[in-house]
Structure 1
Amino acid sequence: MDPLKRLLKLIKDNDVQEIDFRFTEIGGKLKHITYDVAIIDSDTMTKGLMIDGSSFDGWKAINESDMGLIPDPTTAQMDPFLSVPTLTIICNIFEPVTGERYNRDPRAIAEKAENYVRSIGIADTVHVGAEPEFFVFDDVKYQADPYNTGFKLDSAELPINSDKSYEGGNLGHRIQTKAGYLSTPPEDSGQEMRSEMSAQIRSMGVTVEKHHHEVAPAQHEISTQFKTLVRSADEVQIFKYCVRNVAERYGKTATFMPKPVIGVNGSGMHVHLSLWKGDKPIFAGDEYAGLSESCLYYIGGIIKHAKALNAFTNPSTNSYKRLVPGYEAPVLLAYSARNRSAACRIPFGSNPEAKRVEVRFPDPAANPYLAFAAIQMAGLDGIRNKIDPGPAIDKDLYDLPLHEKEKISTVSLSLREALDSLHDDRAFLKAGGVFNDDFIDSYIKLKMEEVTLLETTPHPVEFQMYYS
């Protein structure tokens, strides 16, 4: 069905009273503005509506603040959480004077990356599947005042609550540290909540494959089906929106912060990628693990540019508290079939159509449009320049002897290092005009403010170590 006709049918069938226009800013946060449906006409849907771009970090200056939203009617879905019947539509950002797409719009960059692969003839379809993990807590308190800095988290699942008094008694089912993977109820207290999350995600047009408890207490995962690059990024934003709102309805709070708790596994966002030309999966071949030479070069590009990629795939200072050895976080830049300690894993699959690369170092703090686009550009650079990834490593990378481990490069170990790497290694991102210097420089400037704030703020652990 024609997207505009489908949109009109949704409005009529659901007695829509408001239309919610949504977009994603540089940092990855979903933003929105809601209009009465009676105000919206065909001109609005084709020519767009205006917002103040100076209110978003890294976008417009106050003297050039006008910015336009043009709705993408193919993304129209009913919002399952609002009592007033509301239709949601994802928007693209454009310059009102020139009518061109705004070069700092993350969705525009993702579209350019998708178009670039077609323009160079390597493939015509990019499939991306993401697995964002998240924590759900019952209570979260934090403060960052100069004289009062700290945080406190709580969940009924945490092992610290084994002796806590509850009305009706403490039933004793607690998930121990690092012991939560695939737990069943009653230890897994989130089963029904995740089922509700999955139902609402499905209601907004996203195909859910499975859900389960993750390794850490209070940690969860819901997996969705792969889609094309831009659509997959759209669906990550829908996913996060639904997870947070269902948790809120259950009187809980969900976070995609990569490492909220020391000593337990952090939350990753493993990203699966494959390239197709027509009906041919170009990652399938007769090389290592049934891969093609092109796929190995694609992996070579990701490994070569990983430190710069970290600026987009691991864009928070907290990200680097997850990227440490010992918690299934892939710190070492290697690839392997089925080895979950490698930065790039080749998931098992006997069918050539299932051949794909799983990039394991990204985390859910990432802006999905930027992360997926950057990974894709690194992989394509590998194919174009035939970058050899070296031999695969099928050993447990955490248990390698020191003399072997020292030969393997690592991801960036801090956001500062990632941003410095992006500053120096950016040419691969600029191929085909997908990223440009204006965006990269503004992104680095924006993220360095976060680095500076953390580096200049005294930490509670420093009092423990140094106060006396």
Structure 2
Amino acid sequence: MPDTQKPPGSPPTVSVDAGSYRVVRPESANDVIDLLRKHSIQIVDLKFTDLPGLWQHFSITLPEVHEGLFEAGIGFDGSSIRGFQEIHESDMLLRPDPTTAFVDPVLSTPTLSLICDVVDPVLQQPYSRDPRYVAKKAELYLKQTGIATTCYFGPELEFFIFDSIRFGQDQHSGYYYVESAEGDWNTGRDEGAYGGGNLGYKARYKEGYFPVPPQDTLQEIRSEIALTLQQAGVQIEVHHHEVATAGQNEIDMRFATLTRMADNVMIYKYICKNVARRHGKVATFMPKPLFADNASGMHCHQSLWDEERNLFYDASGWALTSDLCRWYIGGLLQHAPALMAFCAPTTNSYKRLVPGYEAPVNLAMSQRNRSAAARIPMYSDSPNARRVEFRCPDPSANAYLAFAAMLMAGLDGIENKIDPGAPLDRNIYDLPPEEAAKVRKVPGSLEAALQALEADNAFLRKGGVFSEDLIQTWIDYKRTREVDAIRLRPHPWEFYLYFDI
């Protein structure tokens, strides 16, 4: 995430041609209704997030949009949503948040999108398993502690854009097949459809960082994604090709408050996928879709503020950080095994978090050093720029739950003054074996992370931010639908290793 000198309280600015304008977000139902008229909207789309972290939606026509919609909500079947209700308690409500309204830039029909909160109609209260509600509770708990008024998050989501993807598994077969014109494996492909011969310029494995076109074939698509995101009110700072071959990318958003940034992550994924599809390609946030090359992470920059003062800055502290910042890091590192259940929440995540490679598996803090789990970026000595970058999460995470969990771990570190240990300002990958053995590591599997969450979740339940029901539902869902489902199926490589045994 690039450094910035702009005060964090300033509203986002979107560049348009030679000028700029401020994104004016609606504040009330009446503001939303004015937007409908101003943009000649024909459809209103109501979006919300299921427990694993995928957007769901349905659309309504204009006669259904009135002030009462924002107060009473609109019904839907919660039993059909992953991680939500059973069939005998399926009636649920969506209550649109007027401050999230944006004109949907990927649809040809004039459509206004609204992000919604989920409500239990019987209790007339926010639904405890609604991920967005958890994020909002975390921000409220932060204020109640008196430690800070605001938490800012700036995630760096990496993702791949492929030309095509095929996969399948049944009782007697299983495969996946990724195709990309940028893939290093295609140096010998006949590309006659493009005018004869092979166009070359394939990014070599682990050499995809920052090449210019024609090697970077996705420059125009990333620019289109960035500008489309800005149309939706998400400010973009930078975009570039990432390290891996076959079309790995990164587009960085300007930091925002916790729930707002989680909203922006959902918009980001939605627009990346739809713009890629517009070009006949497919975007994926799966952490490790390719063997033998870099995976996709979601490094999360975070800081605590008291109004306009960055509480992580201390001119006389190590790496210009305050005691409060280092205790926050101590909480992240102490609770990292449990955090991974939300921050790296797929079995595929642990194909990325493997010791001995470039993944941030070492639970240590450092300045500048990307081999540590918690890093202090040192691009600038500005007080506004002081933050911690937690590098373990990946983009398969449900951003609402992951951001809330990281904040709760950091606050627990501050409340208990947890010592993060001495800084490791060396390449941890090159430590002698006896020293490396002393550095704690993240869990090696999703099952291990879920076990850690079972054993260590009291910090999440403070202030009722994460309910016991949500934590147990998450663990049960992940075990039955993902861990066990993967464990039961033969892997193609097992045939190579064992068929002749």
State if a TM-score over 0.5 links the two structures: yes
The corresponding residue for 1:368 is 399
The corresponding residue for 1:54 is 79
Find the aligned partners of 2:447 and 2:318 in 1 and give their Cα distance: 35
Matched positions, count: 468
Specify the code of the residue in structure 1 equivalent to 2:485.
L
Find the aligned partners of 2:105 and 2:444 in 1 and give their Cα distance: 40
3-state DSSP of counterpart to 2:325: helix
**In structure 2, which of residues 282, 287, 306 is the aligned counterpart of residue 258 of structure 1?**
287
Query: Is 1:329 matched up with 2:375?
Result: no
Matched ranges for 1:231-246 at <5 A: 231-246=260-275
Give the TM-score, by structure 1 length.
0.99
**In structure 1, which of residues 302, 305, 310 is the aligned counterpart of residue 332 of structure 2?**
302
Assess if the C-alpha contact under 8 Å between 2:29 and 2:67 holds in 1. no
**In structure 2, which of residues 444, 448, 473 is the aligned counterpart of residue 413 of structure 1?**
444
Find the aligned partners of 2:35 and 2:224 in 1 and give their Cα distance: 23
Assess if the C-alpha contact under 8 Å between 1:308 and 1:421 holds in 2. yes
Displacement of 1:299 after TM fit?
Answer: 0.3
Matched ranges for 1:426-441 at <5 A: 426-441=457-472
3-state DSSP of counterpart to 1:276: strand
Assess if the C-alpha contact under 8 Å between 1:336 and 1:342 holds in 2. yes
Find the aligned partners of 2:149 and 2:91 in 1 and give their Cα distance: 35
Find the aligned partners of 1:173 and 1:2 in 2 and give their Cα distance: 49
3-state DSSP of counterpart to 2:126: coil
Find the aligned partners of 2:494 and 2:225 in 1 and give their Cα distance: 39
Displacement of 1:239 after TM fit?
Answer: 0.2
3-state DSSP of counterpart to 2:79: helix
Assess if the C-alpha contact under 8 Å between 1:374 and 1:429 holds in 2. yes
**In structure 2, which of residues 85, 97, 110 is the aligned counterpart of residue 85 of structure 1?**
110
The corresponding residue for 1:181 is 209
Specify the code of the residue in structure 2 equivalent to 1:392.
P
The corresponding residue for 1:280 is 309
Find the aligned partners of 2:442 and 2:99 in 1 and give their Cα distance: 37
Question: Which range moved further: 166-175 or 407-416?
Answer: 166-175
Question: Which range moved further: 146-155 or 229-238?
Answer: 146-155
Find the aligned partners of 1:37 and 1:199 in 2 and give their Cα distance: 28
Specify the code of the residue in structure 2 equivalent to 1:150.
Y
**CA RMSD, aligned part only?**
0.9
What does the per-residue CA deviation read over 1:419-458, in whole Å, with 9 as the maximum and x for residues that have no partner?
A: 0000010000011110121110111000001100101110
**In structure 2, which of residues 410, 428, 445 is the aligned counterpart of residue 379 of structure 1?**
410
Give the TM-score, by structure 2 length.
0.92
Specify the code of the residue in structure 2 equivalent to 1:256.
F
Displacement of 1:257 after TM fit?
Answer: 0.2
3-state DSSP of counterpart to 1:333: strand
Find the aligned partners of 1:290 and 1:3 in 2 and give their Cα distance: 41
What does the per-residue CA deviation read over 1:175-233, in whole Å, with 9 as the maximum and x for residues that have no partner?
A: 00000001110000000000000011111000000000000011000000000000000
**In structure 1, which of residues 198, 201, 213 is the aligned counterpart of residue 229 of structure 2?**
201
The corresponding residue for 1:99 is 124
Assess if the C-alpha contact under 8 Å between 1:266 and 1:327 holds in 2. no
Displacement over 4 Å in runs of 4+: none
3-state DSSP of counterpart to 1:32: strand
3-state DSSP of counterpart to 1:136: strand
Find the aligned partners of 1:430 and 1:105 in 2 and give their Cα distance: 15
Specify the code of the residue in structure 1 equivalent to 2:213.
P
Matched ranges for 1:156-167 at <5 A: 156-167=181-192
Give the gaps of 5 or more residues in structure 2.
Answer: 1-25
What does the per-residue CA deviation read over 1:401-433, in whole Å, with 9 as the maximum and x for residues that have no partner?
A: 100000010001100000000001000001111
Find the aligned partners of 1:70 and 1:276 in 2 and give their Cα distance: 30
Query: Is 1:213 matched up with 2:241?
Result: yes
Find the aligned partners of 2:432 and 2:205 in 1 and give their Cα distance: 27
Question: Which range moved further: 423-432 or 34-43?
Answer: 34-43
Find the aligned partners of 2:308 and 2:395 in 1 and give their Cα distance: 31
% identity of equivalent residues: 49
The corresponding residue for 2:179 is 154
Displacement of 1:3 after TM fit?
Answer: 3.0
Displacement of 1:45 after TM fit?
Answer: 2.1
The corresponding residue for 1:401 is 432
Give the gaps of 5 or more residues in structure 1.
Answer: none
**In structure 2, which of residues 478, 489, 501 is the aligned counterpart of residue 457 of structure 1?**
489
Assess if the C-alpha contact under 8 Å between 2:356 and 2:429 holds in 1. yes
Matched ranges for 1:69-148 at <5 A: 69-148=94-173
